[in-house]
A and B are shown apart, each in its own frame.
Chain A
Amino acid sequence: MHDPIPLSLLAPGQCAEVDQVTGHPDHVHRLEELGLRSGAAIEIVQRGSPCIIRLSGQKLCLRADELFNVLVRCVATN
C-alpha cells in the first residue's frame, strides 16, 4: 500500500482506493450516500474541475472545491 495522496494527483486510468474523505460532516455524509467512502475503489476518468471519477460501477462528476477533500491510496498494479 502507498501513502495517501489527494485525488487530483491520481493519474487517469490508475486504480486506487479511497483512504478518507474530509470536510464538514454533513457534506461527507452526503458523499458517502453516493458511494464516495473509505475503502471504495476509485479511478479518474477525466481530470480537471469538474472531474469524472469511476466509483464501483458508476461514474460521478465531481467539482473540486474547498468544501471537501478526497485522499486516495494507489493500488499496486501488476
Chain B
Amino acid sequence: MLERPPLTVALIGNPNTGKSTLFTALAGVRQRVGNYPGVTVEKKVGSMRLGERRCELVDLPGTYSLAPRSPDEMVAVDVLLSRRGDVAGVDAVISIVDATNLERNLYLVGQVLEMGLPTIVALNMVDLARARGLTIDVERLREQLGVPVVELQANRGVGVNDLKRVLAESVDAPAARNRVSPFPEAFQRETEHVQTLWSRSDAKSENGREPLPRYLAERLLLDTSGYLQNTLTSQAADARAGEELLAARKRLAEAGCAVPAVEAQCRYRWVAEVLDGVVTRPSQRVEIVGDRVDRLLTHKVWGTLVFALLMLLVFSSVFIFADPLMGMIDEAIGALGGVAEAALPPGPVESLVVDGVIGGVGSVLIFLPQILFLFFFLAVLEDCGYMARAAYLMDKLMVRVGLSGKSFIPLLSSFACAIPGVMATRVIENRRDRLTTILVAPLMSCSARLPVYAILIGAFIPATTMLEFIPLQGLTLFSMYLLGMVTAAVVALVLKRTLLRGPTPPFVMELPNYKWPSPRMVLYRMGERGWAFVRRAGTLILAVSILVWAASSYPHNAAEVDERLEPRREALETQLAELDVSSPQREGVEEQLVEVENEIAAVYQRESILGHMGRAIEPVVRPLGWDWRIGCAVIASFPAREVVMGALGVIYNLGGDLDVGAASDQDRLGARMRAAEWDDTGEPVYNVPVALSIMVFFALCAQCAATLVIIRRETNSWRWPVFTFVYMTTLAYGAALVTYQVGMQFF
C-alpha cells in the first residue's frame, strides 16, 4: 500500500504552558530549527509517527493571543491559515493549555477554534491544578468546548500517548465544523462585508478565487494599530477598502461594539460559558510550597540576595567546570596539530592545515564547554520558572537604561561569552529591547579579554596600592569591566532614543508556577544552542582563520632569511649534531636555535601581507601610541581577540604557541614588551598610557567574528552585525585615542 502524504500538525499555546516540553516529548530529537525568512521567529519543525502515518509537527511561538501586530506575530496566523509557502497546509492543531489558569488560556483556544481546523486541547499541568485544590470536570469541558480534551503532564511524559491516539482519530474523522462565532450579529455582518471587500480587491483572487479568510477579516476590523491593514492592503487594489474599514468600525461603535474592546468582552463571555460548571475552586486559596518559596525569591532584600548568590554560583561553576574541559580541548587540538605536522611534509600545506584549519577551528571549539555549561544552568533556571523572577528583580535597574528586566540575564551571560548572551535574548519579546540587548552585549568584557588585561596589567601597572588600601592592578582590571558596562548602558540609552526609538508597550510579564525542570528539555536546549554555535560560527571562523593565516604567511619572502638567518640556523644545527647527548653545552645551543627560529618566523611575518598592513596603518594607530607591531597584532585579532597574544608572541620572537593562561609565558611576553623599542627613535614603545590604550581598545572593540555571525543569525539580517562592528570599532578607537592622549599628560 502506498503511504499516505505526511500530515502537518501545528502546536500552539500560551507561554509557560509546557509547550516546548510537549514538543520535545512528541518529536524527540528529530527536530529542525531554522528561521522564517524576514522575521526573527524561530521555525521549529519536528517529525513523529501517528500509527502508520508520518507527521510533521510545527511548534508555533508561544503567545497569549492570535492578534498580529507585527511580522513576527503574523507567522503563527499565516501558518494556521496555510498562507505560508514554506510550511505545508495544517491538518490539525494541538492547543496546549495550563489547567491552573483555564480562563486566560481558553481566550487563545477560542481564536484557534475560529480557524475551523480539527483541534485538540491538551490540558497540561493537571497535577499542579490538583495541588491548588482545583477540580476540573474534563468530560463537561469536552462537551462544552466541542473538541477532544486530553489530560497531560508533559514534563513527566504522562498522557502523551493518549494525545497521539486522539490526534490520529481526529485527523482520520474530522468532525463537522460548524463554529459558532462569539461575536454579536452586527460584528459578524461587518466581518462578511470586509471579507467581500478585501476578496474583491485581492489581485490573486481573480483566477484563484481565494477569498480573504474570515479570521483575517475579523482581525482587520479589530486591529486598530494599522499593521494588518498595511500588510494586506499591499495586495489589494481597491483604494476605498481603507475608508470602508473605518466606516465599518464607526458603525460598530455606534452599535455598541467598539473595537478592539468588543473582542475581549465577547471572548471572555464565551470562555465563561465554556467553563460553566467545569472548574470547582476551593473556598480558600490553597497555599502551596511554591507560594512560600516565591515570597522569599521575590522579596526585595532576600530575593535580591538569593539572586546574587545564585548568579555567583552559576558563573563560578561555569568557569570551574569548563576550565578542565577547555584545557583538554586545547591539548587535543595541539596534539592533532602535532600529528598533522608529523604527517605532512613541511611547507605551505602543513602550515595551512596546522595553523590555519586546526588552529582556527580550535579557537572556536575552545568556547564550547563554557557555552554548554552556561546554557545548562540557564535552561534549568528557565524551565523551573525562576527566570521571570530574576527579570522582575532586575527590572528596576534595567529600566534606567531603557530596557527591561528580561535583558539582565543575557547581558550577565555576556561576561562569560557574548555568544550565549546574544542567544539568550530570545526570551525578550519586545523587538526593540531585544535588538538593543543584542547590540550592547558584546561590550561586556568576555572571558577572552581577560588574558589581554592580565598580561598588560601585569607588565605595566605597578603592583602598589592607591590611598593605602586599593591595589592599583585590581583597580585597573575592575575599571576595564566597568568601562564595558558603562559604555553598554550609554549605548543602550542612545539606541533607544534614536535608532530603536518607538512606543514602549506596557511591561507585563507572567510569573509562571514553579515546577521541576524536565531533564530532557534541559539537555535538548543545551545541545541545540551548542550545535548552533559550532555550525554557524565554525564555518565562518574557519574561513577567516585561513584568511589571517594566509595574510601572515604570504608573501613568503625568503631573501633576508636566506642571507642572514639561515646560515646561523644551519651552523647551530651542525653544532648540535656534533655535541655529545650528555654535553652540558647542549642546552645553551638549543636555546640559541629556538631564538633564531623564532626570529625567522618574525621576519616572515614582518614581510607578510599582515606585516605590510601593520606598517600601512601605523599613521592611523600612532595617535593611540601604538607602533606597527601592535597594529599588526590588532588586525590579526579581529576574527577572534584571543589571537592577539599569539600574534604578539610571533612578533616579539617568542614563537606563536604561547600559552596565554600560563603565568610564566605571560611574564616572558611582558618582559619582551617592556623591552620593545620604536624602530626610528629607539625609545620604549610601551608605557602606562600605551598599555591602557590597548586595554581600552580591546574592552570596546568588536573583535569576534563568531559573535557577529551569531548576531546575523539572531537578527536575520547582515545590517546589525555590520552596525555592531562599525560602532564598536569606532568607539574603541576614539576611547583608546582619548586614553593615550590624556594619559600622556600625566606620565
Interface centre among A30, A33, A37 (most CB of B within 10 A): A33
| A interface footprint on B383-408 (CB within 8 Å = 1, 0 otherwise) | 00000100110011001000011000
Q: How many chain B residues touch the partner (CB < 8 A)?
A: 39
Within 8 Å CB of B224, what residues of A? 25-26
Within 8 Å CB of A61, what residues of B? 388, 391-392, 395, 507-511
Q: Is the CB of A33 within 8 A of B65?
A: yes
Min distance, Cβ B404 to any Cβ of chain A, angstroms: 8
B710 in the interface (beta carbon within 8 A): no
A75 in the interface (beta carbon within 8 A): no
Main secondary structure of the interface of A (DSSP, over half): mixed
B658-710: which have CB < 8 Å to A?
Answer: none
| B interface footprint on A46-69 (CB within 8 Å = 1, 0 otherwise) | 101110100011111111010110
Give the CA-CA distance A42 to B175 in the complex, in Å. Answer: 39
Give the CA-CA distance A28 to B506 in the complex, in Å. Answer: 9
Which of B64, B67, B101 is the one whose CB lies under 8 Å from A56?
Answer: B101
Give the CA-CA distance A33 to B225 in the complex, in Å. Answer: 16
Within 8 Å CB of B504, what residues of A? 67
Give the CA-CA distance A77 to B73 in the complex, in Å. Answer: 42
Q: Is the CB of A33 within 8 A of B264?
A: yes
Within 8 Å CB of A31, what residues of B? 506, 508
Min distance, Cβ A46 to any Cβ of chain B, angstroms: 6
B350 in the interface (beta carbon within 8 A): no
B370 in the interface (beta carbon within 8 A): no
Min distance, Cβ B247 to any Cβ of chain A, angstroms: 18
Would you give 23 A-B contacts (Cβ < 8 Å), ordered by A?
A23-B506, A27-B506, A29-B263, A31-B506, A32-B261, A35-B107, A46-B298, A50-B396, A50-B507, A52-B298, A58-B104, A58-B510, A59-B510, A60-B509, A60-B510, A61-B388, A61-B395, A61-B509, A63-B404, A63-B506, A67-B504, A67-B505, A68-B506
Within 8 Å CB of B67, what residues of A? 29, 33
Please judge, given known A-B contacts A34-B508, A50-B395, A50-B405, whether A57 and B103 are in contact too, CB under 8 Å: yes
B263's nearest neighbour on chain A, judged by CB, is A29
Within 8 Å CB of A58, what residues of B? 100-101, 104, 510-511
Min distance, Cβ A77 to any Cβ of chain B, angstroms: 12
Give the CA-CA distance A10 to B604 in the complex, in Å. Answer: 75
B251 in the interface (beta carbon within 8 A): no
Please judge, given known A-B contacts A26-B260, A49-B396, A61-B508, whether A34 and B388 are in contact too, CB under 8 Å: no
Within 8 Å CB of A68, what residues of B? 506
Min distance, Cβ B222 to any Cβ of chain A, angstroms: 8
Give the CA-CA distance A63 to B507 in the complex, in Å. Answer: 5
A15's nearest neighbour on chain B, judged by CB, is B285
Q: Is the CB of B261 within 8 A of A29?
A: yes
Min distance, Cβ A28 to any Cβ of chain B, angstroms: 7
Within 8 Å CB of B268, what residues of A? 32, 37
Q: Is the CB of A62 within 8 A of B101?
A: no
Q: Is the CB of A30 within 8 A of B506?
A: yes
B132 in the interface (beta carbon within 8 A): yes
Give the CA-CA distance A65 to B504 in the complex, in Å. Answer: 10
Please judge, given known A-B contacts A61-B509, A63-B506, whether A56 and B104 are in contact too, CB under 8 Å: yes
Give the CA-CA distance A14 to B300 in the complex, in Å. Answer: 20
Give the CA-CA distance A31 to B510 in the complex, in Å. Answer: 11
A63's nearest neighbour on chain B, judged by CB, is B507
B277-304: which have CB < 8 Å to A?
Answer: 294-295, 298-300
| A interface footprint on B500-520 (CB within 8 Å = 1, 0 otherwise) | 000011111111000000000
| B interface footprint on A6-45 (CB within 8 Å = 1, 0 otherwise) | 0000000000000000010111111111111100000001
Give the CA-CA distance A62 to B391 in the complex, in Å. Answer: 11
Min distance, Cβ B158 to any Cβ of chain A, angstroms: 21
Give the CA-CA distance A61 to B505 in the complex, in Å. Answer: 14
Please judge, given known A-B contacts A57-B101, A60-B511, A61-B392, whether A32 and B264 are in contact too, CB under 8 Å: yes
Within 8 Å CB of A50, what residues of B? 392, 395-396, 405, 507, 509
Interface centre among B67, B405, B505 (most CB of A within 10 A): B505
B483-510: which have CB < 8 Å to A?
Answer: 504-510
Min distance, Cβ A29 to any Cβ of chain B, angstroms: 4
Knowing that A29-B263, A34-B104, A50-B507 are A-B contacts, what are 5 other residue pairs whose CB atoms are under 8 Å apart, sorted by A's residue number?
A25-B260, A31-B506, A33-B64, A57-B134, A59-B510
Q: Is the CB of A57 within 8 A of B264?
A: no
B257-271: which have CB < 8 Å to A?
Answer: 260-261, 263-264, 268
Within 8 Å CB of A33, what residues of B? 64-65, 67, 104, 107, 264
Please judge, given known A-B contacts A35-B103, A58-B510, whether A63 and B399 are in contact too, CB under 8 Å: yes
A54's nearest neighbour on chain B, judged by CB, is B285
Within 8 Å CB of B264, what residues of A? 29, 32-33, 37
Q: Is the CB of B294 within 8 A of A36?
A: no
Give the CA-CA distance A27 to B261 in the complex, in Å. Answer: 11
B290's nearest neighbour on chain A, judged by CB, is A59
Give the CA-CA distance A48 to B405 in the complex, in Å. Answer: 15
Q: Is the CB of A26 within 8 A of B225?
A: yes
Give the CA-CA distance A60 to B510 in the complex, in Å. Answer: 4
A67's nearest neighbour on chain B, judged by CB, is B506
Please judge, given known A-B contacts A26-B225, A33-B107, whether A62 and B64 are in contact too, CB under 8 Å: no
Within 8 Å CB of B405, what residues of A? 50
Interface centre among A50, A61, A65 (most CB of B within 10 A): A61
Please judge, given known A-B contacts A50-B396, A52-B298, A59-B511, whether A25 and B261 are in contact too, CB under 8 Å: yes
| A interface footprint on B212-225 (CB within 8 Å = 1, 0 otherwise) | 00000000000011
Q: Is the CB of A35 within 8 A of B104?
A: yes
Q: Is the CB of B505 within 8 A of A30?
A: yes
Nearest 4 pairs of A and B residues by beta carbon: A32-B264, A63-B507, A59-B511, A33-B65
Min distance, Cβ B584 to any Cβ of chain A, angstroms: 74
Please judge, given known A-B contacts A29-B260, A57-B103, A58-B100, whether A63 and B395 are in contact too, CB under 8 Å: yes
Please judge, given known A-B contacts A25-B261, A29-B260, A63-B395, whether A57 and B100 are in contact too, CB under 8 Å: yes
Within 8 Å CB of A28, what residues of B? 261
